[in-house]
Amino acid sequence: PEYVWAFNGRALKNSQDHLNISNMSASQEGTYTCIAKNSKTLLSGSASVVVKLSAAAVAMMIVPVPTKPMEGQDVTLTVQGYPKDLLVYAWYPLETEAATSPLIRP
C-alpha cells in the first residue's frame, strides 16, 4: 500500500505505515490523518486522530539538610520534583514576605 500522512489538512513528507512525533510540543497538537491506498485493487481507507498534550503532573518537595538544624548551623534546601524540566524555582526568606521580599539566589 501507499501511505499519505497529513497534519491539520496539510500533507507531510512521510510515506511509511507509521508516523513518529519527536519532542512533542504545543505546535504539533492537531489532527493527524493517514490515507492508505492500494493501486492494484484501487481500494483506499483513511483514519484520523486528534493529538493533544496532557497537563504534566507536578510533584515537588523541599528537603532540608540537616533535617533538624541547630541555631548557627548551615542548612541546604534542595527541591526534588518531577518533571524537572518544567519546574521553576524562586526562593524567599519567609513565606509571609514572599510577595515583597527580594529573590534569594542559591
What is the predicted pLDDT for the residue at 83?
A: 63
Closest to 39 in 3D by CA, of 3, 9, 88: 3
Q: Answer yes or no: are the C-beta atoms of 33 and 19 closer than 8 Å.
A: no
Q: What is the pTM (predicted TM-score) of this model? A: 0.52
Q: Answer yes or no: are the C-beta atoms of 92 and 78 closer than 8 Å.
A: no
Give the position of cell 521580599: 101
CA distance 28 to 21: 8
What is the predicted pLDDT for the residue at 48?
A: 87
Q: Answer yes or no: are the C-beta atoms of 69 and 75 closer than 8 Å.
A: yes
Residue-averaged pLDDT of the chain: 77
% of the chain beyond a pLDDT of 70: 69
User: What's the pLDDT tens digit per position in 7-21?
Assistant: 999 999 988 989 998
Q: Answer yes or no: are the C-beta atoms of 79 and 87 closer than 8 Å.
A: yes
Determine phi and psi for 3, rounding to 5 degrees. Answer: -115, 135
- 23-40 b/e (C-beta count within 10 Å ≥ 16 → b): eeeeeeeeebbbbeeeee
